Amino acid sequence: MTKDIPTISHRACLEEAIRLLQEKRAPAVGVVDASGKLAA
Amino acid sequence: MVLIVVFGASLDASSLAGVDKSTVSMLDRLRGEPLPRRVQSHPGLPDGRRARVARHSGQPARYARATEIAASIGQVVAFGLGFLGLFGNPLLIFIAIFVYLAASSEAQLVAMRAMSRDVPVAAAMMTQIARLEPQAHIDEAVDTLLRTSQSEFPVVDSAGMLVGVLSRADLIRALKMLGPDARIATP
C-alpha cells in the first residue's frame, strides 16, 4: 500500500490536482471534504 | 512577425473568431491568434522566460498558447534535424526524435493545465469507487479487484480518512510475499 497520498479539497480546481500528481509522483490524489474525509 | 512570415498569420477579426473553437486546427489557430508582441517576437523562448513574458504582458492564459507555438517551432526544427541526419550524422535523427517528443509532451501538459484551470475537481473525480479498510485481508482485496474494474483502491479507516492507496501491483506483491491472510495495512 502506498501511504502519504496527497489530498485536495473537493472545492479545488482540477489544475491543482494535476499539479499535485506531478509534484508528489503519487498514483492518485484523494479528494476530501471540509472535515478531511474522503469525498464520495 | 515570425508567425506572419512562417505561418502566414493574419490579424483580421474573422480569423480571430475561430481561435477558441476546438474544431479549428492548431495551425489555423496560430494563423489567427494575436499573441502579445513580445511573445510573438520570441516564440522559441525557454520555459521560464515564456512564463515571464506571458505574465508581464498581463495575459497569463497566453502562456499555454506561447508554449504551443514554441512546441510547433521545436517540432519543425526537429524535422529539419532529422532530415539532415538522413544525409549526415545519424545521431541527429535521435536528437530530432527527442526534441520532437519533448516538444509534444510539453505542449500537451501545458494545454491540459490551461484547460483544467476552471474545472472543479469534483467534476472529474471518481465517485463510484470501491474502498478497502486497513484491517481487511489480502484475499478480500483480491475479491474486490476481481469484482471491479479498478486497478487502485483507496484504503480508508473507520473515520473515513484516507490512509493510502493499494494498487494492483501492490496487491499481487503482497499476495506473493505475505499470503492471503495478511492485512492490507501491512504491505
Taking only the tens place, the pLDDT of each residue in B114-169 is: 887 788 888 888 888 899 999 999 999 999 999 998 888 999 998 889 999 999 99
For the segment A1-40, what is each residue's pLDDT rounded down to a tens digit?
Answer: 888 889 999 889 888 888 888 888 888 889 998 888 888 6
Q: What's the distance, CA B104 to chain centroid?
A: 10
Q: Do B163 and A31 touch (CB under 8 A)?
A: no
Instruction: Please tell me the total number of residues recorded for chain B in this structure.
Output: 187
For the segment B30-65, what is each residue's pLDDT rounded down to a tens digit?
Answer: 333 443 443 333 444 444 455 454 544 445 567 878
Taking the Cβ of residue B140 and every Cβ of chain A, the question of whether any pair is shorter than 8 Å is answered with: no
Q: Hey, is B59 helix, strand or coil?
A: coil
CB atoms within 10 A of CB A31: 23
- Strand-strand pairing, B152-156 and B162-167: antiparallel
| pTM of the predicted protein model | 0.55
Question: Which of B119, B125, B167, B177 best probes binding to A when mutated, by most A CB atoms within 10 angstroms?
Answer: B125
Q: What angle do CA B107, B109, B113 make, to 5 degrees?
A: 115
Q: What are the φ and ψ backbone dihedral angles of B91, each rounded to 5 degrees?
A: -60, -30
Question: Which of B121, B152, B165 best probes binding to A when mutated, by most A CB atoms within 10 angstroms?
Answer: B121
From residue B40, give the alpha-carbon distance in Å to each of B18, B33, B67: 19, 10, 11
- Identify residue B153 by its one-letter amino acid code: F
Give the closest of A17, A28, A40 to B127, CB-based: A40
The residue with cell 495495512 is: B185
Determine the residue of chain B that is closest to A30 in CA distance.
B162
Smallest CA–CA distance, residue A34 to chain B, in Å, is 12
- Identify residue A37 by its one-letter amino acid code: K
Residue B137: what pLDDT? 92
The residue with cell 520532437 is: B100
For the segment B17-29, what is each residue's pLDDT rounded down to a tens digit?
Answer: 444 444 444 334 3
Q: Do B125 and A16 touch (CB under 8 A)?
A: no
Smallest CA–CA distance, residue A19 to chain B, in Å, is 8
Smallest CA–CA distance, residue B62 to chain A, in Å, is 16
- Identify residue B164 by its one-letter amino acid code: G
The chain-wide mean pLDDT, for chain B, equals 74
Q: State the cell numbers at B180.
A: 492471503
Range list of H helices, B88-137:
91-115
Rounded average pLDDT over B102-111: 87
d(CA B108, CA B58): 23
B151-172 burial: b if 16+ Cβ within 10 Å, else e: ebbbbbeeeeebbbbbbeebbe
Range list of H helices, B116-178:
138-147, 168-178
A36: CB partners within 8 A, 6+ apart? A7, B161
d(CA B143, CA B133): 14
Taking the Cβ of residue B61 and every Cβ of chain A, the question of whether any pair is shorter than 8 Å is answered with: no
Q: What percent of chain B has a predicted confidence (pLDDT) above 70? A: 66
Determine the residue of chain B that is closest to A10 in CA distance.
B122
